[in-house]
Structures are given as structure tokens and as C-alpha cells.
Structure 1
Amino acid sequence: MALFTYLLRSSRRLFLLALAASVVSGGAGASFIAVVNYALGRSGDIPAWLVWAFTGLCLATVVTRFCSQNLLFRLSQDLIYQLRRRLIDAILGAPLRTVEKTGTPRLYSALSDDVVVIADALPGLPMVCFSAAFVVVCLVYMALVSPAVALASLVATALGVAVYRLFSHYGLRHLGAAREQQDRLFEHFRAITEGIKELKLDRRRRTALAGDQLDATARSYRRSGVLGLAVFEGAAGSGQAVFFGLIGVLLFCFPLWLDLSAKTLTDSVMVLLFMMSSLQGVLTWLPVLGRASVALRTIEERLERLESAGREPRLPGPAAAFGDWRQVEFRGVTHAYPGAAGEEFVLGPLDFTFRRGEVLFVVGGNGSGKTTLAKLLTGLYRPEEGTVHVDGTEVTDAGREEYRELFSAVFSDFFLFDSLAGLPDADRAAKAEHHLRRLQLDHKVSVVDDRFSTTALSQGQRKRLALLTACLADRSFYLFDEWAADQDPVFKEFFYTELLAELKERNAGIVVISHDDQYFDVADRLVRLDYGRIREEVSRGR
């Protein structure tokens, strides 16, 4: 089983200890039955050693079962952390384009659901080991009582395992289909939560997207999930039927074929009933373990996709190599987006220079490639062709993270963190309060324990907070992607005439993606993009 293999790789010592405790518990439980049968079959006084054996087996069964479960609880929590940590590291380490192609709903469902499904299945593993040890000891005991009955029980057990394997393959296939539909459900959930305003305004669209399409996906998910789980239940029922059939053979056929005493027959049936009870406990966990196998396979597929794209080198400490840069140069840089029907949008080839201490405006229509240019400039995308140079030195994969350390950016699809952790330490709380006053947010937001007291603000106010954190980062190159689009005239004026001038005085490089033509004269240079190509470059001669 894949789950066993993964646990052996990730937490070998703890997992083996838990399994060993489960095996001891199962063996002790089966030995307990043998002691009970022996005590019931005796006549006269009960010897002291039998009492001590009974007591010892009771204690051993309870204590080892407790130890096994406790170890597995610890292991499950460690496993949740390890899997999530590995997924997060893979997401942060993979190229941005790979993460975007994988999709937020797929990654979020792996982090939030698949990991929990695996952790919830771990308590079933000791039960499997307990039952395996229990069955082995019971078979050994029955071999001592009646080799013929032991052989029949062994055949029945093997038949039950074969039936389970036959059913499980079919069941796992349907559980895998349900897991694929779950990703689609997460996409629907995201559309509903993020598009709630639009859906409330449009009844027909709400019915189509949050009704018909969601219901169709949910029905498909439910159908595959129910069928998969039903198959496992069928496997459980088949296993029970095999043992019921064996008990029937013992009761009604063996006495006709073999010379078995009533005591031997009673002991054998009693042991089989205990074996059935133990195996029934395992069978209840089979659907859970099946779902865990599907979840683990899904996580491994997500990780393989992220890690196969190559892990970006990480800096051990602060960047230094490009600290005194003067210019960033594109040499034949291109980037392509493939379309669904085979068409593609190509940005470039671009031959262009960005200079320190200069305000550069990038303008153009929607879809002209402005945001893609921003991601190439900041090192978030690798050029598919061409190279990026800083003062003549090529930015390679090994130095890409160091190159990114030059930039502070507010993208059009920015994310606002409520924590200031990781920003430069020197007086950051005081600086944050200063910027809050300048941006007229101090009456709504304060800094408490290095966090914003709230981020539940309007879009324009949230963008002002994002601008605040960008300024606190104190970098030498700033990029603003449509920052002023959601601002009122007062803050547009502040941004274009005051803030950009302050950053320029600090000798920072500044790139502004904008449609505000009334402020184009603020730029030292203006570049116009059209369908991925530079169609116009205007220098203001400053």
C-alpha cells in the first residue's frame, strides 16, 4: 500500500514502533482467546499461572493498543505538517508560471482536504496490523486444535483477501474520479465566494453558475464517491460472507466428513467469530484507507508537477550583488501564452533599458502585455528567449532571487498581508503609522503587535495599504501596476506628484503601468505597448 510506503519513508521509527505495538496487541488479544478456551475446558482448580497469564494478556492488549494509537496520533499531526510544508515549499520554489498553470483551487484542495484525509486514515493502520497479528495467532492456535479447520480458515482468509483486492481496484478508480470532481467543486466554491456581488445582481447567471453547473459537478462527485465507497462496502460484505460460509461448513459439513469432538468444534467456531469481529473492524477502515491512497496519489502528482519544473535557487541571506545597479537591460526578451485553440500571445522580442533614478510609464490597451512585462522585469517569469542584464551582467537562474530583491511592487491583482513581519525592522511600526496618516487611513487602521488592526476596507483603501507595505520594503526599484485605478483624485494626485517624486529623489528605479494620460507628463520616459510589441517610446528629456 502506497500509504505504508510513504510513512516508512517519512517517519520510519515512529511508524514502525506504532506497528510493532499493534502487532503485539493483536497477538496478545488472540492469545487471550486461547487462554479463555483453555480455562473453560479445564476441570478442577484453576492454576495460578493461568490467572497471571489472563491478567498479563489483558494488560498487554490494552497498553499496547493505547501506545499504538498514541503514536499514530503523534504521527498524524507530524504528517499533516510535513505534507503541508512540502507542498508550500514546492509552491514557493516552483516558477510562478507553473504555479499559475496548476491552479489555485487544485493547490488549495490538496493543502486543505487531501492532507486531512490522509491523517484521518492513519488510525486505521494499527487496526490492520492488529487484525493481521490476531488472525495469524488464531490460525496457529487452530492448527494446534485441528489442522483441518486451520487449513480451511487459511483458505477462507486467502479467498477474502483476493475478493477485497478485486473490489478495491474498481473502488479506487471511482474514488479517483470523485477526487478529480472535487477540484472542480473547489473552482465553483471560489467563483461563488469571490463573485458573490455579481451573482447577487444577476439571477440568471446565479442560477447557471451557482445552480446548474455546481449541481452537475456535485452530482458527478457524489455519484463517483458513493459508487467507490459502495464497492468497498461490497468487499466488506463479501469477506463476511466467506467467513459465514466457513462457519456453516464447520457446523454442518465437517462433522460428516471428520471425526471432530464437540469441544474442538466449539473452540474453532468461537475463534472464527472473534476473527470475524476483528476483520470487521478492518473492513470499516478500508474505504477510509482507499480515499487516503487517492489523496496521497493526488498530492504526489501535484508535487511532481511543481518540482519537475525545477526548483528556483533560494538565497541564504540578504542580496548584495546588484545593490549598486545603474540599469536593467532586456536583450531579445520574449514570453508566450499558449491559447486553448493553439493560438498564442507573444510578448517581444523586447530590447529595452530601465534606468535607475528614472520614472518610466508603460501604457497600452488591455491585453497588450503590460502585466507580463512587469512579471518579466521583476524576475517572476523567466524569459523564454533572450536575456536580462544588470549593468552588463546576465541574470541567470542562480541569481534570479537575488535580482528579485531589487524590487518592491504593487500588482493589479495584489494580495494584502495583514502582518508587517519580514519587512525591514528599523522603526517599521513608526514608519507604518506615518504612512497611515499620509494615506488618510489612520482613522481606520492602526498597527498592533506588528499587524494591521484590520484589512476589511474598500478596494481603494486596501491598495493604499499595499502601497504602504511596498514603501516599507525600502527597495531600489519600484513597480506599480495600475495602482491609481481605484483611487479618488486626491490620492491620484498624491501618488503621481508627491510619492513618485520622493522615490525618484531616493534614486530608485520606477516603472508605472497606467492609463491616466493626464499624468503622463510626470514620466521621464513613456513606452507604449501594442499586442506585445513596443510601438512608441517617448523621452521627456529630464
Structure 2
Amino acid sequence: MMKMYRFLLFLLRDARSMMVLMVLTGLLAGLSSVGLLAVINKLINGAGATSELFAAAFIGLAVLKVVSNYLSQLLLVTFAQKTILNLGMDLCWKVVRAPYRTLERRGAHEILATLTDDTNAMAWAVNGLPGLAINVAILAGCSLYLAWLSWQAFLGVVLLAVLGLLGYRQLYNRVLRSSLAVRDSKGVLFEHFRSLTDGMKELMLHRGRRETFVDSDIRQAAEALRHHNLVTTKQYLTTDSWTQVLFYGLIGVILLLFPRLLSLSGESLTGYAFAMLYMIGPMWGLLGMVPTLSRGQVALEKIESLGLALDEGRREGGAERPVTHGTQCLEFSQASFSYDPKGEDERSFSLGPLDVTIRTGELVFIIGGNGSGKSTFVKVLTGLYLPQQGAVRLNGEAITPANQDWYRQHFAAVFSDFYLFKKLLGLDPALIESQADGWLKTLRIQHKVTIQDGEYSTINVSQGQRKRLALVTAMLEDRPFYVFDEWAADQDPQYKDVFYGELLPELRARGKGVIVVTHDDRYFHVGDRVLKLDEGKILETPNRAASTGSNRTPPMLKPVIRSSA
């Protein structure tokens, strides 16, 4: 019950003034319902059947009931929608501000499940608050009416109700535990669904893998979810049946036992019967909200758990500082980063310690075999990871969580696992207007994609073409440093020639620092340096072309692309 109380407090934490209005309108709705019940009871028992006062009271209370119910519903729905909006936006901000390593540890499937399933469960719970408030007000008003009719009988009803609620609490706790199991099962099934879509090519190419995955993994997760849903439903129905037995037992005690033990008038007895019957609807409404509120409570715990995890450690800052332009010097000083081992048989991979300097106006190639640490190096280089030992400095300033976001704004990157946004978000409209079409022509994709109103006309193109669009986006960012992680790996030779022979030298000529992770050794002579990573350590490889003073532009390259554009 304390968790449910905390859940309700969370929903009302940012709406104190609206909460007062909701309570007042809810009380009016409840009290007007009780007033109508009292007037009807008087009319049925013949008291004032022809009185104009009772007729006016009936009409006035009915109007007050309708108006207050409307206002209460409207206020609560407005509040509910604002709460869900703030909750979702707050969680999204936590995601984009969290350390990248934390996001990797939590996993995309858990974050997506929280943003979709948990926030949806919270929405259902919040949207049920209008009915919850009205029903509580009606039950409270009816209780006052019963106490007014006979306080002795009301004490007996309260005693029986408390005994029944003690049993109800035990049943409710079982429902809550089952709801937690349902939520966990949904998370597992969601992860399998993500594997189903992301691994479609691999599943199609291997019948055994496909059939085992669907018949075993997905079926097992779906069966577990079905089982926990059934258990939760059975426990909820048991709880509901217990409440019905308790409720009708109370009516039976009032009608059969109270007249023998207490001196109740006919009017009081009729009032008790009517009030108890009138309370059936609100009571069932409250019981119907139990599963929804339970799922909302579980969702809140998951959301808070993810939020606390995303807030772990030190927050990244420095976004308000402007990006430094001009000559830049990026320095690794005994910088190292290590992953924790995932299992007993796996050793921890460590990058570094690294001592390397990269300046603007320099073109550096990064090479190395699989598992040599290239991807980790790129993440540390771009500020997605902070070194655990040593330091990374920009123009002599050490990078810490306090200025990490500012540091990252100095980089434009196309990662090997890049994501392409259809909109050119956050870019200078004037720069898009003056340069975007030129880059599309240079990369020979203007016949398939255009830019209109700051977004690509389509991104439903091949992987190689999508990577070219990602390169266009990076060019329009106009950052001091550019990082390309295996950009040319799936490009045709003509686009490799453009990339290595034109774009990279042009970026260097514009004073940009260019770092390229690649295996294309036939283009190494274009760069200034080649750094080789081996088991997390950097070895600088002599650049034969640079040392002999040969022309950086290979003879095979022709300026036909740019001239034809």
C-alpha cells in the first residue's frame, strides 16, 4: 500500500494547484451523489413527496452532480496528459544526457521497452485517475451518509470491512508480484522481437537457426508471458470474487442481522440498503482500476530504475560553451580504457595507455585487425567514452564530465554502425542552402535524393547510398575534426577515389583534422600518418609516400567528378 501511495504522490507531484481543484470538484461530485441518494430515500418513504423544496433539491443536486463530474473529468484528463508528456520528455532527456557506456550496459531493448511499454502503462494508469477520484468521493460521501443514518450500524460495517480488506491486501500483493513477472516477460519477448527484425537476413539464410529461434526462443518467451498473464488474471479474479463476497455479505448482515441487534427505523434500513447498492458501481470501478494501477506502479518502478541508472556517475556538461575554431591540438596522455569481462572465460580488453597527438590540418589513417581496439579508440577519441586512466586534452584542457559534451561538439563522424536521420537536425540553414546540393552532386546521389525544407526527400536507398548521405550530413556540420570509421568499406571504386582523392584532402586543406579508420592500404600515401592499433596499443607506421615527398594525390584520380558536377 505504501508503494501505491508513493505512486499516487508521484503523479500529483507537479500539479498542486490543479490537485486542489480536482479534489474540490471530486468532492462536489461525491457529495451531490450522496445528496441525491438522501433525497430519493426521503421521497420513497413518503416524506415531503409533494414538497417543492425536495423537487428543487433533486433538480439542483442533479445539475451539480453533472457539472462537477464534467469539470472533474476534464481537469483530471488535462492533468493526466501533461503528466505523461513530462514523464516521457524527462526520460528522453535522461537518455540523451546519460554516459554512452551506461546506455550500452542497459541495452537498447530495455530502453525501448521503458519508453514504449512502461510509459504506455503509466498513461493508462494516469488516464484512470478521473474515475478513481470520482469513485473515492462517492464512497466517502456514502460512508458519511451511512454514519448519519446510524453510527452504531456504521461502526459494525467498518469493522467487517476492515477484516475483509486485510484479506484483500494479501490477495492484492500477489497480483502485484504477478504484474512484475508480466513486465519482465514482456522485456524478454521485446528483445526477441528486436532480434527477429535486426537479424532477418541471418534467419532467412539458415533454416535451422530460423526454426529454432521462432519455435524455441520466441515461443518460450511468449508462453512465459501468457502464463504470467493467466496467473495475474486468476489472482485478480480471486481478489474480485473475495470483494463481491465481502460486499454482499455486508448487505446481508445489514438486512438480516442489524434489525435484530439494533433499533433501526424503516427509513434508515432502506437508506442503508440503497446506499450499499449505490456503492456497488463505484466499488467495481475501484476494483477495475487495481490491475491498471498495479501495472502503472510496476512501470513507475522500471522507469525510476532506468532513470537512476542513467543518472549514475557524473553528468556530462559543457554544452553551453561555444565550439573552439581555428588551430586545434588533440592529445592523448597515457590515456586508457578497459572493458569489464563479460564471463569467466573472457578477459578484459584494455585500450592503451596511449600517447598520441592529432592536430587540425592533418590526415591520419588508423589501421589494425579485428579486436585491435579501433572502435574503442574512436569512442574515446570522439568523447563517447572518457579515459579511465590518463587524460585526453584539447588545446591543453583535460576532458572531464564537466566539459565532455563541449568536447564532443568538435567532432563530426560517420561510424561503421551509423544511423541516418532524415532531417538535417540542428544544422545551419544557410549552410544547407549553399552547400548541400554540391555535396549530393559530388557523391553522385542527386538523381535519387534531394533536400527540401531541411530534410532528405528519402533515405530508403541502398546501404552504400545511405552512407554517402551520412557523409553529406557530416560535411554540413562543419566541425574542427572529422572521424570516418570504415566509410569506404562498402563503396564502389569510383566513390572510394572521390573519398580518398578529393574529399579527405579538401577537408585537410580547409584546416580540419581528419581521422580515418580503414583497410584501404592503396590510399595510405594520401595521409600524413598511419597509426596501427595492435591489442589496444598504437604503433606509428612510417608513411613511405610522405617520407619520399611524393605527390599525395594518386595518378589514378581524375577531377572528372567535380568538373562534371
Task: After TM superposition, give the deviation of residue 293 of structure 1 in Å.
Answer: 0.5
Q: CA shift at 1:259, angstroms?
A: 3.9
| CA shift for structure 1 position 345 | 0.5
Partner of 1:191: 195
Match of 1:413 among 397, 413, 417: 417
Q: Which amino acid aligns with 2:332?
A: F
Give the one of 142, 146, 149 matched to 2:146. Answer: 142
| Matches of 2:507 and 2:528, distance apart in 1 | 13
Q: Structure 1 residues 304-313 or 246-255, which shifts more?
A: 246-255
Match of 2:211 in 1: 207
Assess if the C-alpha contact under 8 Å between 1:346 and 1:532 holds in 2: yes
What SS is found at the alignment partner of 1:328? strand
Q: Unaligned regions of 5+ residues in structure 1, if any?
A: none
Give the match's secondary structure for 1:478.
Answer: strand
Counterpart of 1:319 in 2: which secondary structure?
Answer: coil
Write out aligned runs for 1:455-534 (5 A).
Answer: 455-534=459-538
State the distance in 1 between where 2:128 and 2:169 align. 17
Q: What are the Cα deviations for residues 123-162 of structure 1, in whole angstroms up to 9, with x where unaligned? A: 3323333233322322222233233321222223323432
CA–CA distance in structure 2, aligned partners of residues 466 and 81 of structure 1: 31
- Provide the rounded CA distance (Å) in 2 between the counterparts of 1:51 and 1:123: 36
Aligned to 1:310: 314
Which moves more between the two structures, 165-174 or 486-495? Answer: 165-174
**Equivalent residue number for residue 381 of structure 1:** 385
- Three-state SS of the structure 2 residue aligned to 1:426 is helix
Query: Any residues of structure 2 matched to 1:35-434 within 5 Å, and which?
Result: 35-43=39-47, 45-316=49-320, 318-320=322-324, 323-342=325-344, 343-434=347-438
CA distance in 1, matches of 2:164, 2:69: 25
Distance 2:53 2:446 in 1: 80
CA 1:123/1:38 → structure 2, altered by over 3 Å: closer, same or farther? farther
For 2:73 and 2:161, locate their aligned partners in 1 and report how far apart those are by CA, in whole Å: 26
**SS of alignment partner, residue 464 of structure 1:** helix
Aligned to 1:453: 457
1:496-526: CA deviation from partner (whole Å, max 9, x where unpaired): 1111111111111111000112222222111
Question: What is the TM-score when the length of structure 2 is the normalising length?
Answer: 0.92
Counterpart in the other structure of 2:6: 2
Instruction: From the superposition, tell whether residues 58 and 163 of structure 1 become closer, same or farther in structure 2 (CA, over 3 Å).
Output: farther
Aligned-partner Cα distance in 1 for 2:437–2:507:
19
Q: Does the aligned pair in 1 maintain the 2:11–2:126 contact within 8 Å?
A: no
Asked if structure 1 preserves the Cα contact closer than 8 Å seen for 2:336 and 2:390, the reply is yes
CA distance in 2, matches of 1:16, 1:43: 37
Which stretches in structure 2 are left out of the alignment for 5+ residues? 550-565
In 2, Cα distance between equivalents of 1:73 and 1:170: 30
Q: Which moved more, 1:130-139 or 1:209-218?
A: 130-139
Distance in 2 of aligned mates of 1:141 and 1:308: 52
How many angstroms does 1:304 deviate by? 0.4
Provide the C-alpha distance between the structure 2 equivalents of 1:286 and 1:59, rounded to a whole number of angstroms.
30
1:26–1:129 Cα contact (<8 Å) kept: no
Query: CA 1:152/1:351 → structure 2, altered by over 3 Å: closer, same or farther?
Result: same
2:562 match? none
Aligned-residue Cα RMSD (Å) equals 1.8
**1:159, 1:71 → 2: CA distance?**
35
Fraction of identical pairs, as percent: 39
Q: Which range is displaced more, 464-473 or 227-236? A: 227-236
Report the Cα offset of residue 237 of structure 1. 1.9
Amino acid at match of 1:327: C
Q: Decide whether the 8 Å contact of 1:84 with 1:115 is kept in 2.
A: yes
Quick one: distance in 2 between partners of 1:44 and 1:141?
19
- Taking the aligned partners of 1:265 and 1:145, their CA distance within structure 2 comes to 9
Per-residue deviation at 1:9?
A: 1.4
Partner SS, residue 526 of structure 1: strand
Deviation at 1:25, TM superposition (A): 1.0
The structural deviation recorded for 1:54 is: 1.0
Deviation by residue 1:198-219 (Cα, 9 ceiling, x = unmatched): 2222222112223310111122
Checking the alignment, whether the CA contact within 8 Å between 1:139 and 1:153 is kept in structure 2 is no
Question: Alpha carbons of 1:518 and 1:51: their partners in 2 closer, same or farther (altered >3 Å)?
Answer: same
Deviation at 1:426, TM superposition (A): 2.0
Moved more, 230-239 or 174-183: 230-239
d(CA) in 2 for partners of 1:237, 1:183? 31
Structure 1 residue runs of 4 or more that deviate by more than 3 Å after TM superposition: 255-264, 539-542
Work out the number of aligned pairs and report it. Answer: 540
Deviates more, 1:252-261 or 1:337-346: 252-261
Superposed displacement of residue 43, structure 1: 4.7
